[in-house]
Structure 1
Amino acid sequence: MKSDFKNGGIIMQAAYITKNGSADDIIIGDLPKPIISANQVLIKVNAVAVNHVDTFVRSGAFQTDTDFPFVIGRDAVGQVEEVGKDVTGFSKGNWVWTNSMGYNGRQGVTSEFAAIPADRLFHVPENVEPTQLIASVHSSATAAIVLTSVFAVNSGSTILIEGAAGHVGTKFVQMAHILGLKVVTTSNPKDFDLLDRLGSDQRLDYQKSLKKQMSKGPIKKVDYVVDTSGKVSLQDNLQVLNVGGHVCLITAPKSNTFKFDVRKFYTQSKTINGFVISHAPLEQIQESAKFINRLMADGYLLEDQVLQKSYEEAGWAHLKLETNSKKKKILLTF
């Protein structure tokens, strides 16, 4: 940060765009340091997680109200620098996190400082490593909201989680297990031990027939299905659902098309849900944050492998995410 002697204000470093476009359009440069309102908290950003939705917003594929210049990124962890006059519960120096910025008119967080509405800011639990937390919260909040709000799961029910060894899948497995569900997972066999430790009751090879494997296991049909990969046939998922069962789509196949038996679907009272966290109401964001913080305080949800890079490599990070060439969770640090 340095003084901008031309206008007497203070400027900061940020990763931002002046138009929707490619990763090459991301600019690393100076922007004015935010001036907070009465209901905001100014944080000194420590790390920002890079998510697929960030690339969609940057490119314009996911359209939302955007004021240019627009700071990219939605999930950040840092320390409280200044508190608005109407804000309670936060003090200078507190470690805090947010996961719902950079969308719907809200500026992003890939900047030295960020002004966060107090109702979108949460404390980092004691003894939880901040960068490990922010690597997890996007996936964790998605899993929490799908399970508790979209599905409104009941203890004792059954769930199939496909692509269960990935960033999102591991969060679904842990939460579903903690909520009292019987959990069936699909993954590469090399990840079976991991999923067993996280709470999977029945582990299936993602390369083999889902229907055949399910028919041979103790859990033959499930009440809920979530496919984190977008690579499983919708019809295959509907076939392993109990009557009245639910599927939730959190991604889609590259073909952007599905075929399924409509008659069997509606006559068995099944439901297909779609979910993206960008449209989650504030109340769901807040409730999921409470749930996530409780679990993280107990040591859950913190298993992601992390790759830390400077915020100056934001363009590189977006490109790597778009080409799926990095398995680790990418964080941009200041």
Structure 2
Amino acid sequence: MRAAYITQNGEAKDIKIGELPKPEITNDEVLIKVNAVAVNHVDTFVRSGSFKTDTNFPFVIGRDAVGQVEEVGADVTGFSKGNWVWTNSMGYAGRQGVTSEYAAIPAARLFHVPEHVEPTQLVAAVHSAATAAIVLTKVFGAVSGASILVEGAAGHVGTKFVQMAHIMGLKVVTTSNTSDFDLLDRLGSDQCLNYDKSLKKQLSKAETQKVDYVVDTSGQVQLQDNLRALKPGGKVCLITAPKSNQFSFDVRQFYTQSKTISGFVISNAPLDQIQDAAKFINRLMADGYLLEDPVLEKSYEDAAWAHKKLEKNAKKKKILLKF
């Protein structure tokens, strides 16, 4: 089968396109014929070796795929040949990736594409959607009536946080470019702030001045500013880092107000959280939510090009590699 793979950790140019053996499935796996693979920043980290994870070479790159069931393992139920399915947790922790004509997926990590949902639009969204779902439900334990500040809310991850938080009954405050205010209003933002202006000053004049939860999708907001925006007992979740890789904050104010700072990467999420997030995502997508990402479709043979573009943040559209 044709695949995009690496034989050692390295640069994007080291990605190879060639023939690899077609996977043979175990009793608890499903063989899928891959239709499209989403390219994420974490894929570049795994490829380069900057994200340390078990990797068996030759290693097929990519973690999020959508396709159709080709063969079902003897112990697998719930899947049949021809079903449209998706996965978002391959390509790390010893599991081969999915940028290949065929991929063997553990049945526990495979989910049905909801009826009437366009498969490529779904796979473009599942990485950011699962991140938002797990942070909201597991890290924050968000409850209806609480409030959240989503910074950089018009991006791939931010729009998922806005929609999910709104549906969960939270009051949603967002920061973005003013040109994105209309979009965020439609997605569920209750209060749009300009991310080019002072957060502190804008919140001081806003209807909602303090929130229960803060998530910065950009890594460009100072941690102290986010802690200041929290109510006592509030929580900040870091899902990225500033270029300096450094933050400073008022420690006394932090601990005396019982605030919490958490970090989250979906690669560390346990399987039950991945599964719960998938159920949540599928329900929302079946109702037409989370499917707004602009998409750029390329051939799987353009995998090295895609990684280079992502590393330079040169494309705003979600890059999909098609077979």
Q: TM-score, normalised by structure 2?
A: 1.00
| Counterpart Cα distance in 2 of 1:305 and 1:240 | 31
Shift of 1:122: 0.1
- The yes-or-no answer on 1:33 pairing with 2:33 is no
Among 139, 163, 173, which residue is 1:184 paired with? Answer: 173
Q: Which amino acid aligns with 2:119?
A: P
Residue 235 of structure 2 is matched in structure 1 by: 246
Identity of aligned residues (%): 80
Among 120, 125, 144, which residue is 2:109 paired with? Answer: 120
| Counterpart Cα distance in 1 of 2:78 and 2:143 | 33
Residue 259 of structure 1 is matched in structure 2 by: 248
- Summarize deviations over 1:282-329 as a string: whole Å, max 9, x none: 000000000000000000000000000000000000000000000000
Structure 2 gap segments, 5+ residues each? none
Shift of 1:192: 0.2
SS for the counterpart of 2:85 is strand
CA RMSD of aligned residues (A): 0.3
| Counterpart Cα distance in 2 of 1:243 and 1:193 | 31
Shift of 1:66: 0.4
Among 47, 55, 60, which residue is 1:66 paired with? Answer: 55
SS for the counterpart of 2:20 is strand
Residue 202 of structure 1 is matched in structure 2 by: 191
Residue 155 of structure 2 is matched in structure 1 by: 166
| Counterpart Cα distance in 2 of 1:66 and 1:58 | 9
Shift of 1:181: 0.2
Residue 43 of structure 2 is matched in structure 1 by: 54
SS for the counterpart of 1:242 is strand
SS for the counterpart of 1:32 is coil
Residue 73 of structure 2 is matched in structure 1 by: 84
| Counterpart Cα distance in 1 of 2:114 and 2:302 | 29
- The yes-or-no answer on 1:288 pairing with 2:277 is yes
Q: Which amino acid aligns with 2:219?
A: G
Q: How do residues 305-324 of structure 1 correspond to structure 2 at under 5 angstroms?
A: 305-324=294-313
Among 99, 103, 109, which residue is 2:88 paired with? Answer: 99
Shift of 1:89: 0.2
Residue 316 of structure 2 is matched in structure 1 by: 327
Q: How do residues 290-305 of structure 1 correspond to structure 2 at under 5 angstroms?
A: 290-305=279-294
- The yes-or-no answer on 1:223 pairing with 2:216 is no
Which stretches of structure 1, 4 residues or more, deviate above 3 A after TM superposition?
Answer: none
Shift of 1:45: 0.0
| Counterpart Cα distance in 1 of 2:159 and 2:262 | 20
| Counterpart Cα distance in 2 of 1:60 and 1:237 | 31
Structure 1 gap segments, 5+ residues each? 1-11
- Summarize deviations over 1:185-221 as a string: whole Å, max 9, x none: 0000000000000000000000000011001111000
Residue 131 of structure 2 is matched in structure 1 by: 142
Among 247, 264, 284, which residue is 1:275 paired with? Answer: 264
Residue 156 of structure 1 is matched in structure 2 by: 145
- Summarize deviations over 1:13-51 as a string: whole Å, max 9, x none: 000000000000100000000000000000000000000
Q: TM-score, normalised by structure 1?
A: 0.97
- The yes-or-no answer on 1:131 pairing with 2:111 is no
SS for the counterpart of 2:143 is coil
